[in-house]
A and B are shown apart, each in its own frame.
Chain A
Amino acid sequence: MAYDLPRSARIIDIQRETPLVKTFVLDTDIDAQPGQFIMLWIPGVDEKPMSIAGMRPLTISVARVGPATSALHDLTVGDYVGWRGPFGRPYRLDTDRPALLVAGGYGSAPLYMLAQQALAHGMDVTVAIGARVADELLYADRFEQLGVQLLLSTNDGSRGVKGFVTDAIRAQFLPDAADDAPVISDPDAEPPHGTSTRSLSLYACGPEPMLVALYKLCRANGWSGQLSVERYMKCGFGVCGQCALDDVLVCIDGPVLTLDQLEAKRDFGHFHRGPTGRRLEI
């Protein structure tokens, strides 16, 4: 992009999704791929990375977690925001294997576009969403309407499987596995249940502890995996170095990273950098 100042757009619709998350629809379109993000400017406040949940019109779903997201939640229809992008590497859809999309936190937002893309390819799509309690399950209804197979989990058991999203995935795809340790599958063994679990492609976005658990699950079962990772961002285009995860710049090399890209990274699951650039424990 030769000219990349934030472009202003008006908010044309705001929907409450969960107690923490609102969806904002802007009066502008974007050409992007699932997993890419924009830098969203709240004039006079801050500018933060947000995943693209919809393109026509540009739609984002935002959890209220701090000053910038609170300021955004306080805006109303007709207010201006700015955006630049799209940035980052998207998910690459593997049309040869059934897709398992796994969302935690706001992760449902980027995966929603991916689910649409996969369905358009006539693929077999399962979406697993995890949350603490039932009313924090983001986009459960939207995914249901798309017609994907839905796998829900809540920590308190108020909806779906009680426990973590990985528990729901194990129960569905690895019913014979021990609960505690990941299973090292014998590459020559018959997969359980007729469906070849070894041939799954997993796409995830959510809190890093969840991504680490999924990384292990994928490695243990020979699944391919693409995980969308979050790091503190300033420029969004590979100049400031703030988003470094080891030698990976999450804004341009990611946010979607393959298992191999995350292999042996000392930061993954352990450290991120705060606004000063200092490594902090996750």
Chain B
Amino acid sequence: MESIGTDQKETAAADKLDLGVTLCGVRMPNPTVLASGILGLSQEVFDRLAHLGIGAVTTKSCSLQPRVGWHNPTIVNWGHGLINAVGLSNPGVEVMVDEIRTAKLALKKHGVPIIASIFANTIFDFGTLTRYISEAEPDLIEVNISCPNIDTQHEEMFSSNAYVSAQVTRMVKRHARCPVIIKLSPNVDSIAAVAKEVVNAGADAICAINSLGPGIILDIDTARPILANRTGGVSGPAIRPIAVRCVYDICKALKGTPAQVIGTGGVTDARDAIEMILVGATCVGIGSAIYHHGFNVFNDISTGIQEYMGRHGYHSLEEFRGKALG
């Protein structure tokens, strides 16, 4: 497997405490990952984030065909996090392949890998899409089978059903030339059971969780839902305890397998990121926190983790990863 962390030694030396992680054989300078759907459209923005010390970036989920998504309002802050129904708008895989290719060249200088997120309407299309996206040679592929906002064609999300999730996983694995992450939804009876199935089907890692819900926020004067799609996925601080519990359950269930976990959901500062690592996450996805803390959130979290490591006498993340699992 290609390792792109060539500048790694320099960074580590400067920061003294090693925050580097290896996700499915891919080296990252630190455990912070830009979550899919946040700022994930343009190579130049990825490059800006790399300059600001991000560990890895995930692109916005792309589909075979371009999608316009829902009308606005698509994303609002409701006080304890965001609610969004963007409707998976994206320029389509053809355009994303170009963006990823160019982004990869720029990110390589920083040792920052790029994760290509994909989403399709059918299991078959997941295979086709994987073949196309592989042309961009992303470091990893993340498979979004858990978006709560696209229920018109489907009775339910793929990730609601462990068997279907495994079928998607097998299809993507068959066509992928890099490690595959499956992104799961918290809206299931047992997220651990789904995680086990997809890992049995070949998934190299799990990303948990996608946004929770869907939920509704009304405008009480007009008695209308604010989001144009009426309902939307809930993210940010309000969902963090649920995300931590999901990662906890998954990591327990996957013990003894080589599968790794990206812990995502409501992480806003170093404390939250450490919590994710303590329940077993290899790295930590960050999305909505950008609303509150801007682009510096990644570097702030890395600095905070180093302070914590200093306080506890840890030299690497391995020393406390999964400590809460017992």
Contacts and interface: CB of A to CB of B under 8 A. Distances in A.
A3 to B, nearest CB: 4
Contacts of B69: 275-276
A2 B79 contact: yes
Contacts of B75: 234-235, 239-240
A4 B288 CA distance: 14
A47 B71 CA distance: 8
B146 interface: no
Interface in A1-21: 1-6, 8
B86 A234 contact: yes
A277 B60 contact: yes
Given A47-B72, A48-B72, A246 B221 contact: no
Interface of A is mostly: loop
A238 B226 contact: no
Contacts of A80: 221-222
B39 A5 contact: no
Given A5-B78, A247-B47, A43 B222 contact: yes
Top 9 A-B pairs, shortest CB-CB distance: A278-B91, A47-B72, A241-B39, A247-B44, A8-B221, A235-B75, A4-B77, A247-B48, A276-B66
Interface residues of A, number: 37
A45 B71 contact: yes
B256 interface: no
A41 B75 CA distance: 12
B92 interface: yes
A44 interface: yes
Given A47-B73, A234-B74, A241-B42, A275 B68 contact: yes
29 contacts: A3-B79, A5-B78, A5-B79, A5-B217, A6-B219, A6-B226, A8-B219, A41-B226, A43-B222, A46-B71, A48-B72, A80-B221, A234-B72, A235-B75, A238-B39, A239-B75, A239-B287, A239-B290, A241-B38, A241-B45, A242-B89, A244-B45, A247-B44, A249-B45, A252-B294, A276-B90, A277-B41, A277-B42, A279-B95
A132 interface: no
B21 interface: no
Given A3-B79, A237-B291, A278-B66, A244 B73 contact: no
Interface string B219-256: 10110101010000000000000000000000000000
What interface size band does chain B fall in? 35 or more
A247 B71 contact: no
Nearest to B69: A275
A48 B73 CA distance: 8
Nearest to B96: A277
Interface of B: 37-42, 44-45, 47-48, 60, 66-69, 71-79, 82, 86, 89-92, 95, 217, 219, 221-222, 224, 226, 228, 287-288, 290-291, 294
The winner among A46, A47, A238, A275 for most chain B CB atoms within 10 A is: A275
A275 B89 contact: yes
A15 to B, nearest CB: 24
Contacts of B291: 237-239
A244 B76 contact: no
Given A5-B217, A240-B86, A276-B89, A39 B73 contact: yes
B286 to A, nearest CB: 11
A45 B71 CA distance: 8
A43 B76 CA distance: 14
